[in-house]
Chains A and B, each alone.
Chain A
Amino acid sequence: MDTQHTQNPQDKQKPQESQDIPETGDSRASDARPVLEAPDIARVLTRIAHEIVERAKGAEDVVLLGIPTRGVFLGRRLAEKLAEITGRTVPVGSLDITMYRDDLRMHPPRALARTEIPGDGIDGRLVVLVDDVLFSGRTIRAALDALNDIGRPRAVQLAVLVDRGHRELPIRADYVGKNLPTSLRETVKVLLAEEDGRDTVLLGVKQNP
């Protein structure tokens, strides 16, 4: 499986996109191959929303908390879809985990993102954490610590757009948009319209530093 993704990208799915892919720290435009396009992302979010309703038996006490940056946008989109399905508004917020990271001492401190807990809090609710990529699991560990300081949810579940594997902690997602077996030499970059101007998930090869 891995070798399939480490190979060079095929060109058939790259019309003129290589020009407008933003340069980011961990994926280079030339090597990045889209694995999910906008319609796919919309579809998997709809599926996840239905799964949440099914598992939470109506999603009555669900609170969605997105992890900045892109988890927040995904959380809001999920909330919209949940509202369409259930006819109720589902509280949605954001949870910045920066100050709970275990690698703080390995990098300069980063600017903090917004933590916004919906008005009624999370006590006794079913919190669904939403993130774009599930990788080592350390972000989610930090998020669980952060939740601990904010309240006591009835249960916590995890929804991710992409699970790329390589867990370093015993954490798994409850709702997965796409399982994407990767090698550690690869990068997964999620672009969302709210932040990047378009929806796509790119698989690239890490450049040598």
Chain B
Amino acid sequence: MLRHLISAADLTRDDAVLILDTAEEMARVADRPIKKLPTLRGRTVVNLFFEDSTRTRISFEAAEKRLSADVINFTAKGSSVSKGESLKDTAQTLEAMGVDAVVIRHGASGAPYRLANSGWIDAAVINAGDGTHQHPTQALLDAFTMRRRLVGRDTGLGQDLDGRRITIVGDILHSRVARSNVDLLHTLGAEVTLVAPPTLVPVGVGNWPCEVSYDLDAVLPKSDAVMMLRVQRERMNAAFFPTEREYSRRYGLDGDRMARMPEHAVVMHPGPMVRGMEITAEVADSERCTVVEQVANGVSIRMAVLYLLLGGNEPAVTHTRTEEKSER
């Protein structure tokens, strides 16, 4: 049973499709004049951010507030954590406050897992990115965006991404987005190809349910979606490639390369984009680029996850979901 959302790999196909379908209904709320539902009234959600991430935090915060939850934002900077408080002590403080869910972003891979399985806290734990490990809601919002673009907004309900070919390009080594996406897209039936310089491909990638290529141009014509990852300049001190210009020439997406993609194919990016490096402005601003949609979809996906984990007396996302329907 899933009480927490720690890894995209924990989701079954049915769970993932349920989340995507629920998000589709949540997206309709965003189109209304009053973007608010009473569903999580009286529940308290803490956004526990040990690592800076404005984008993810405000996305979760918007989702929590639209569902009427009480939101507490906790950033490590300026908190007791910077004075040396441990994760355990922080967790126990939150438990004492009667928190119902913790959305955690942490620089250390595995911190959310530890929080969920240590017995320190009773709340549901949602991983908002841990180290180079996982970022499951990002993978879900990417899958949601792909399903909307490739299968259709209404026709996509109940559908997975069976047979779609997805290419993920860039710094696979440091990318929790890539890991989460490979897990989830595989569960949803898509064929994933990773494209990166050999130095940025992790050891053990052979065990992942995906293909690996070093040649972007060969992969582009048979891709339904191309996901560009940010080149993390802060992690480039170890000289993973000779120069930015060379990276850009071999693995950057520009107008010429985009023209080699099939007509229907979309370009995705988890943001923030480094224009001119992994993606040119021409591509970033084109119709086929879904960056802005991904941000909007992120709120819908996070609403869906929060609703399914917290909306009832037990989570709906389980491996033994019962289709019990009580009389209205």
Contact = CB atoms under 8 A, between A and B. Distances in A.
B311 interface: yes
B324 interface: yes
Interface string A106-126: 111111111100000000000
Given A99-B37, A99-B38, A150-B32, A133 B311 contact: no
Query: DSSP class of A's interface residues: helix, strand, loop or mixed?
Result: loop
A105 B313 contact: yes
A46 interface: no
User: Which of B315, B324, B328 neighbours the largest number of chain A CB atoms within 10 Å of its CB?
Assistant: B328
A106 B313 contact: yes
A172 B28 CA distance: 30
Interface residues of B, number: 30
Interface string B290-313: 000000000000000001100111
Contacts of A115: 25, 28
Contacts, number: 77
Given A139-B328, A150-B32, A187-B327, A109 B312 contact: yes
B326 interface: yes
A115 B37 CA distance: 13
Contacts of A133: 327-328
A124 B36 CA distance: 21
Given A99-B307, A135-B328, A150-B32, A108 B25 contact: no
A188 to B, nearest CB: 8
B18 interface: yes
B25 A114 contact: yes
B25 A112 contact: yes
Contacts of B324: 25, 107-108
B316 A108 contact: yes
B39 interface: yes
Nearest to A164: B327
A108 B315 contact: yes
A104 B311 contact: yes
B89 interface: no
Interface in A135-151: 135, 138-139, 145, 149-151
A86 to B, nearest CB: 29
A164 B316 CA distance: 30
Nearest to A121: B33
B36 A149 contact: yes
Nearest to A24: B325
B3 to A, nearest CB: 12
Contacts of A99: 37-39, 67, 307, 311
B34 A25 contact: no
User: Which of A99, A111, A151 neighbours the largest number of chain B CB atoms within 10 Å of its CB?
Assistant: A99
Given A105-B313, A107-B313, A149-B37, A135 B327 contact: yes
7 contacts: A25-B324, A108-B314, A110-B316, A113-B25, A133-B328, A149-B32, A149-B37
Interface of A: 24-26, 67, 96, 99-100, 104-115, 131, 133, 135, 138-139, 145, 149-151, 187
